[in-house]
Amino acid sequence: MTTVRMPPPLPTRLRTQIPSGGLSPMLSRLAAERATGVLMREGGMLYLSDGQVMYAESPATPGLDVLLIARGALDEDGWREAVAQAGARRLVGRFLVDSGRISQGALELCHLGALYDAAYFVLGPSSAPARFRYGEPHWLGPVRPVPVTAVERETVRRRELLHGIWPDPAADEAPLVRADRPPGATVAPRQEAVLARIDGVSTATDISRVLGRPAFHTLVDVRRLAAAGFVTPRAAEPDPAGPAPGSPTPVPVEEFPLFTDPHITLLKRLRDALEAL
């Protein structure tokens, strides 16, 4: 007899509009104030200028330098020189363009991808208090500011996308282990690259850094692999008694290989443009 597995309940915030106070009430207030400085949350930092997001950093994501170097748009020596020459003046981005190491368009494209990637984690649910330090600019300097509302909309959209692939977020942060691979089963090349680096120790963040890919893209691949039964999160402390009888096991809420959301098309074009560099 086949047991029907039920997905966990969808968190209230998903599939709803952004709350009136925003994903971070403090961020909404700072945007209204047109504040400049750095907002520090549990998941990372958002740098603001005149109330708009200039850059985002998170320990869960590779930085802009990793993405640029991994794609061959810049070498390590060029990045180090830019930081040494212009880091103290907070004009690293301007130096890269003026010195001919990268075009303005390519820098803006990579910057936007890194910003949205880190912001997804910075704006994640948190019970820790947030802090804001006024007047602190980022060393990259101005590239292309993004309105807070746009960052929040993209963050919510990404949450919904991941939930639609596989609703259990356990694999996002835990070390990953391979499940038994069905005979003859295949996965897409991008997912195969992720699967090849699953060793029972590495997390999705670790794999992102090794591959030089945005962390969110890796989460998409990890959840697809989890939905297909190829990977599972490693339990921190396995319960010898096993799962409680009747415990629900998540199942995909939609077929994971197909995505027709126009936003996904945009992200794919962004990915292809970055890889083409």
Average pLDDT of span 23-27: 92
Confidence at 4, pLDDT banded by 50, 70, 90: very low
Position with higher pLDDT, 254 vs 209: 209
More confident residue, 244 or 101: 101
Percent of the chain with pLDDT over 70: 78
pLDDT of residue 253: 41
> Average pLDDT of 272-277?
54
Across the range 66-77, mean pLDDT stands at: 88
CA distance 154 to 129: 23
* Whether this model's pTM surpasses 0.75: yes
Report the alpha-carbon distance of residue 172 to residue 215 in Å, rounded.
10
Asked whether the predicted pLDDT for residue 242 surpasses 70, the reply is no
If one counts every other C-beta atom within 10 angstroms of the C-beta of residue 180, the result is 8
Position with higher pLDDT, 228 vs 240? 228
pLDDT score, position 187? 86
- Is pLDDT above 80 for 114? yes
Answer yes or no: is pLDDT of 269 > 80. no
For the chain, domain boundaries: 27-160, 163-239+246-276
Secondary element (H or E) of residue 271: helix 262-276
pLDDT digits (tens, 9 = 90+) for 192-236: 999 999 999 999 999 999 999 999 999 999 999 999 999 999 876
Q: What is the DSSP string of 145-211?
A: -B-HHHHHHHHHHHHHHHHHH-S-GGGGTS-EEEPPPPTT----HHHHHHHTT--SS--HHHHHHHH
Closest CA to 277 of 93, 79, 74, 71: 71
Handedness of CA 74, 76, 78, 80 (dihedral sign): positive
Examine the pLDDT at 111 and tell me if it is beyond 70: yes
Say yes or no to pLDDT of 256 above 50. no
The whole-number pLDDT of residue 181 equals 74
Query: What are the tens digits of pLDDT across the range 123-179?
Result: 998 888 999 999 989 999 999 999 999 999 999 999 999 999 999 999 999 999 998
Whether residue 260 has pLDDT greater than 50: no
C-alpha dihedral, 116 to 119 to 125 to 126, nearest 10° = 170
Distance of CA 268 to the CA centre of its chain: 14
Residue percentage of the chain with pLDDT more than 90: 65
Sheet holding 44-49, edge to edge: 52-57, 44-49, 37-41, 131-134
Q: What is the mean pLDDT of the chain?
A: 83
User: Which of 15 and 86 is assigned the larger pLDDT?
Assistant: 86
